[in-house]
Amino acid sequence: MEKLHIIKIGGQVLNHEAVLHSFLKDLQQVPEKKILIHGGGKLATRLADQLGQPQQMVEGRRITDADTLKIVTMVYAGLINKQLVAQLQALGIDALGLSGADMNCIQAKKRIVGAIDYGFAGDLGHDSVHADKLHALLHIGCTPVICSITHDGKGQLLNTNADTLAAAIAIAMNKRYEVQLNFCFEKKGVLRNSEDDSTLIHSLTEAEYHTLREEKVIHQGMIPKLDNAFSALNKGVHKVVIGHSMDIGPILLNTNNYGTRLGN
């Protein structure tokens, strides 16, 4: 099967010009097909501050009221997506920016109101990602750049977690491709001590993950990312790597000693 890289771009790439430049130059060297996924939470929070619209977060998830939905749509689907696409085009990568509404490539459901009303937050189901649409775009030579805005198919845009979206796309695409899912963020990978890069865990099985989690070695912020990652592996994704945005080149080229490789 042909190889496909799904790459979740972290906030650091989007907020630092030098990191972005390094990331894009690395990407240019990778011959395989690619899909990029991004959010842009920090920039959205900054715009909300400028507009005097305080943001409410619950366990790292944004409460998306109607005004906040407009803000994240402007920042993710507009500013960040188009800046990324223009810079990829300048490097000769035929990027195409997408929200889930575009070509109906990802259809979500508004999160059911429980103890907390997350507003216009979109949850993904097993049939949310329309892999045939993404395949058609890859087939005509495009590199999709997908922001974490989806829709419900009835005209409503929804704000969806970008890590979850990346995992769902990886799972949906693995019928046609040998998928490597890459989460890029501001750490070297999964660390035993989150402040010390030299404590990088080079490979991690699900059993080891559960042990480290019980021992509280793996800290809170990493848990949803790792849950998404192991869920993808268990649903047939070939390989998952978590690493630093500056190391995306060696990670995509599968050079050892970069990032944390997940697998059983």
- The contact set with its own copies (CB under 8 A) reads 47, 50-51, 70, 73-79, 81-83, 85-87, 89-90, 94-99, 101-104, 136, 140, 142, 149, 151, 153-157
Query: For residues 69 and 229, which CB has a smaller minimum distance to its own copies in the complex?
Result: 69
- Cα angle 105, 246, 165; round to 5: 20
- In angstroms, what is the minimal distance from the CB of 142 to its own copies? 6
- In angstroms, what is the minimal distance from the CB of 79 to its own copies? 5
- In angstroms, what is the minimal distance from the CB of 102 to its own copies? 5
Query: For residues 158 and 233, which CB has a smaller minimum distance to its own copies in the complex?
Result: 158
> Quick one: which of 153, 106, 171, 92 has its CA closest to 134?
106
- Cα angle 118, 229, 28; round to 5: 105
- In angstroms, what is the minimal distance from the CB of 181 to its own copies? 24
Cβ neighbours of 257 (radius 10 Å):
9
Query: For residues 89 and 254, which CB has a smaller minimum distance to its own copies in the complex?
Result: 89
- In angstroms, what is the minimal distance from the CB of 203 to its own copies? 37
β-bridge pairing 2-9 and 177-185 = parallel
CA distance 263 to 183: 14
Q: Six-digit token pair at 73?
A: 């749509």
The answer for residues whose C-beta is within 8 angstroms of residue 186's C-beta and 6 or more apart is 10, 11, 12, 244, 245
Q: For the chain, how big is the Rg over CA atoms in Å?
A: 17
Biggest CA-to-CA distance, the chain: 50
Query: For residues 80 and 241, which CB has a smaller minimum distance to its own copies in the complex?
Result: 80
Query: For residues 1 and 86, which CB has a smaller minimum distance to its own copies in the complex?
Result: 86
Q: How many CA atoms lie within 13 A of 22 on its CB side?
A: 15
Query: For residues 79 and 217, which CB has a smaller minimum distance to its own copies in the complex?
Result: 79
- In angstroms, what is the minimal distance from the CB of 37 to its own copies? 16
- Whether residue 224 contacts residue 166, with contact meaning beta carbons closer than 8 Å, is answered with no
CA distance 76 to 262: 28
Query: For residues 154 and 216, which CB has a smaller minimum distance to its own copies in the complex?
Result: 154
- In angstroms, what is the minimal distance from the CB of 47 to its own copies? 8
